[in-house]
Amino acid sequence: MAAAWKKPLIAVYKDVRMNNRLWAPGYDNARQIIVKCGKVYQLESLPDLIMAEIDPVTLQQARAG
């Protein structure tokens, strides 16, 4: 859906080699984060990784409404 509406997307997946390419977002306005730990929610630095992938200009536009 995000691709259809050209919306930014950050996808977070645990590291499963076969799935990383299969479920990759596959469009320019998307980013994929691969998590090496057992469960995605166990990675304490996940919020920082997500914030690092967000384009500051896009974030400002979203806040402006």
Q: What are the residue boundaries of the structural domains of the chain, listed by start?
A: 9-64
- pLDDT tops 90 at residue 36: no
DSSP string across the chain: -TTTTT--EEEEEE--HHHHHHT---STTEEEEEE-SSSGGG-TTHHHHHHHHS-HHHHHHHHH-
More confident position, 26 or 48: 48
Instruction: Please state, rounded to an integer, the average pLDDT across all residues of the chain.
Output: 85
Tens of pLDDT, residues 40-56: 888 889 999 999 998 88
Contacts of 58 (CB under 8 A, 6+ apart): 8
Tokens 């500051």 sit on residue: 56
pLDDT for res 48: 94
Tokens 């691709």 sit on residue: 3
